[in-house]
Structure 1
Amino acid sequence: MVRYLIKRAGAGLVLLAFVSLLTFIMVFRSPEAIAYNIIGSTATQEQIAAKIAALGLERPILTQYADWLGGAVQGDLGRSWNQSEPVSTLIARQLPVSLSMVSLAILVMAIVSCLLGLAAAVRGGWVDKIIQVLSVVGFSVPSFWLGLLLVIFFAVRVNWFPATGYVSFMGSPFGWATSLVLPVTALVLAGIASASQQVRGAIIDVLDQDYIRTLRARGVSSRSILFRHALRNAVPAVLTVLSLQFIALVGGAAVIEQVFAIPGLGSLTVTASLNGDVPVVMGVVVTLIILVVVVNLVIDLLNALANPKVRVQ
């Protein structure tokens, strides 16, 4: 198990190094464009040259990356060009907001998609057809459009939930929950549609195995077969789907945060991109990569615990 985790962690570090280098080259490839974006449309060539020199962008890009990487491994992601704050401080302030929304969304998605997938696989017939139709509809509805509809109805008309804003859990647990109901609902609908179909397929595949028929022939109850055997053996497929959905939710959260005015990592990324704040963009990208690597490592660990064959592979 330890060797397996070391191997997976090493692969994650290689991925992190490669993607961070590629991202650095992409965002820092044009010093003139960066300086022009910071100064504005009235910038002269002298001002652009002075800004490039002030930011150290005239150096070879690999030298810049080496300096940035040396600070990044120590937790120093540089300073924001627009807000004059350390990038790590900005990320530490807004990352918990996004994580709380995405974590709650994953929890809701896991519960609802498992229930729907189980119902579709076990009941079949019209239940399966209705769930599949609802899944297709849910997958087809854009999250931002659904978010706007939720605001109009549940926040403006009936005034059940706040339309915008975020309340920290420490400040008010109830306020935190109510502030996340609408954005989480808009965020998870498409994911539930996709995940429930994957759960359905995994359960059906497991129920068709020979050992399931043997258990039925021995008189084992359907409930025991479903929850003690079928669902347990379908866990690796379900975990893999949820890990992919986590990555999708992190990306989709940026749009939802804009719709609901939530001060999360997505809002920080959009603001930094519009203002040309490259160090913040770079810091957010690296943070998201680390999140993806950690989540995939946790999923691999859970899969290895559920299925020993994974460790052998």
Structure 2
Amino acid sequence: MLLRRLSVWLVMSVALFFTISVLVFVLVSLTPGDAARAIVGPTASVERYEQVRAQLGLDLPLWEQYARWLGGLLHGDLGDSVVTGVPVSQVLADRLEPTLSLMIGTFLCASVLGIVLGVIGASRPGAVGKAADVGSVLGAAVPNFWIGLVLAALFAVQLRWLPTSGYTPLVDGVGPWLQHLILPIATLTVGGTALLAKQTRDAVAEQLTQPYILLLRAHGVSERRILWRHALRGAAIPIVTILGMKMIGLTSGTVLVESVFVIPGFAGYSVNATLLHDIPVVQAITLIFTVVIIVTNLAVELLYSRLNVKEAA
């Protein structure tokens, strides 16, 4: 059964990748302007403009441009940036660490904090539960960029505890690396934590009303063990679903945060690449984010299978 589901996942993943790559290729080509005009400038002659277009291959039909890009991808070549001429793999390699650090750090912080707050809210209904509901609404309603600006104004400008912008690679020291990530991760964690806390609270609270919980209490099992081991495990499926959605949402949520805190990641860089019609760069970034989505869906699927087996047992 698991092998069959993995086969279906593989087919759907390949179809998803090609569909997204075609859509991005077409949509970027339909946006105003092109890379040749950005290179030669607005005052260049028509002859010079057409020459650069031919050099970049932009005068070819769109399907042929896509076929060339796909052929290079199948041979492990992401192509060169049409704006800078630098290999796309080199451009993105320098920007991969900041984006991954931001995504993984946010996912871990939001997951731990959201689950802990949700379980506490379920075990203590009343003021704590209502606070979780209010927090989830506010966290989902307030834009990330506004939260980032407020945090930067408070902790970076007024208190001067943290840097306002930039990024320090991990090889330059854990301390500076963490200092530059605290505010961006906190910005992204607020909304994700609030939603996860509410869903966790509701799922765990429902489990606490099940007959098996009453049976465990009758056998003298401690409330702490009931709450964190049995009820939380029973509520795992909806929690895993939210965690998967959170990870996928970070592929787009990092764009604005990287812009606000001037983090040299490729999420924010994709905006400039799109405006300049740098299709190889946009396609490569799309490929990376698509792989993140596909792997996340696979992880959720495997966790579903494992949880269902435990429930059946």
Q: TM-score, normalised by structure 1?
A: 0.91
Q: Which residue pairs with 1:106 in the alignment?
A: 107
Within 2, Cα distance between the matches of 1:99 and 1:36?
A: 33
1:216-256, CA deviations, whole angstroms, 9 ceiling, x for partnerless residues? 33333222221221111222221211111112222111111
Q: Which residue pairs with 1:268 in the alignment?
A: 269
Give the drift of 1:210. Answer: 3.0
Q: Which residue pairs with 1:75 in the alignment?
A: 76
Alignment CA distance shift 1:10-1:123 (3 Å): same
- Count of aligned positions: 311
Write out the 4+ residue segments of structure 1 that deviate beyond 6 Å after TM superposition: none
What SS does the aligned partner of 1:170 have?
Answer: helix
Q: Specify every segment of 5 or more residues in structure 2 that has no aligned partner in the other structure, as ranges.
A: none
Q: Which residue pairs with 1:26 in the alignment?
A: 27
Q: Which residue pairs with 2:67 in the alignment?
A: 66
1:31, 1:57 within 8 Å by CA — same for their partners in 2? no
Within 2, Cα distance between the matches of 1:221 and 1:29?
A: 62
1:234-288, CA deviations, whole angstroms, 9 ceiling, x for partnerless residues? 2222121111111222211111111111111123212222333222112111211
Farther off after superposition, 48-57 or 285-294: 48-57
Q: Specify every segment of 5 or more residues in structure 1 that has no aligned partner in the other structure, as ranges.
A: none
1:105-128, CA deviations, whole angstroms, 9 ceiling, x for partnerless residues? 000000110011112212111111
Within 2, Cα distance between the matches of 1:183 and 1:166?
A: 10
Instruction: State percent identity of aligned pairs.
Output: 38
1:68-111, CA deviations, whole angstroms, 9 ceiling, x for partnerless residues? 11111232111012222111221122112101111010000001
| Structure 2 residue 122 is the aligned partner of structure 1 residue 117 | no
Q: Which residue pairs with 1:223 in the alignment?
A: 224
1:48-75, CA deviations, whole angstroms, 9 ceiling, x for partnerless residues? 4333322223333223222211111232
2:33, 2:276 within 8 Å by CA — same for their partners in 1? no
Give the drift of 1:141. Answer: 2.2
Alignment CA distance shift 1:96-1:10 (3 Å): farther
2:241, 2:300 within 8 Å by CA — same for their partners in 1? yes
Match runs of 1:123-202 below 5 Å = 123-202=124-203
| Structure 2 residue 256 is the aligned partner of structure 1 residue 246 | no
Q: TM-score, normalised by structure 2?
A: 0.91
Within 1, Cα distance between the matches of 2:236 and 2:306?
A: 11
Within 2, Cα distance between the matches of 1:149 and 1:267?
A: 20
What SS does the aligned partner of 1:229 have?
Answer: helix
Q: Which residue pairs with 1:280 in the alignment?
A: 281
| Structure 2 residue 61 is the aligned partner of structure 1 residue 46 | no
Alignment CA distance shift 1:54-1:239 (3 Å): same
| Structure 2 residue 234 is the aligned partner of structure 1 residue 233 | yes
Give the drift of 1:43. Answer: 4.6
Within 1, Cα distance between the matches of 2:49 and 2:308?
A: 58
2:99, 2:254 within 8 Å by CA — same for their partners in 1? yes
1:29, 1:61 within 8 Å by CA — same for their partners in 2? no
What RMSD, in angstroms, separates the aligned Cα atoms of the two structures? 2.3
Give the drift of 1:29. Answer: 4.9
What SS does the aligned partner of 1:107 have?
Answer: helix
Within 2, Cα distance between the matches of 1:30 and 1:274?
A: 8
Letter aligned with residue 69 of structure 2: W
Within 1, Cα distance between the matches of 2:33 and 2:148?
A: 38
1:126-167, CA deviations, whole angstroms, 9 ceiling, x for partnerless residues? 111122222222222221122112122211222211111111
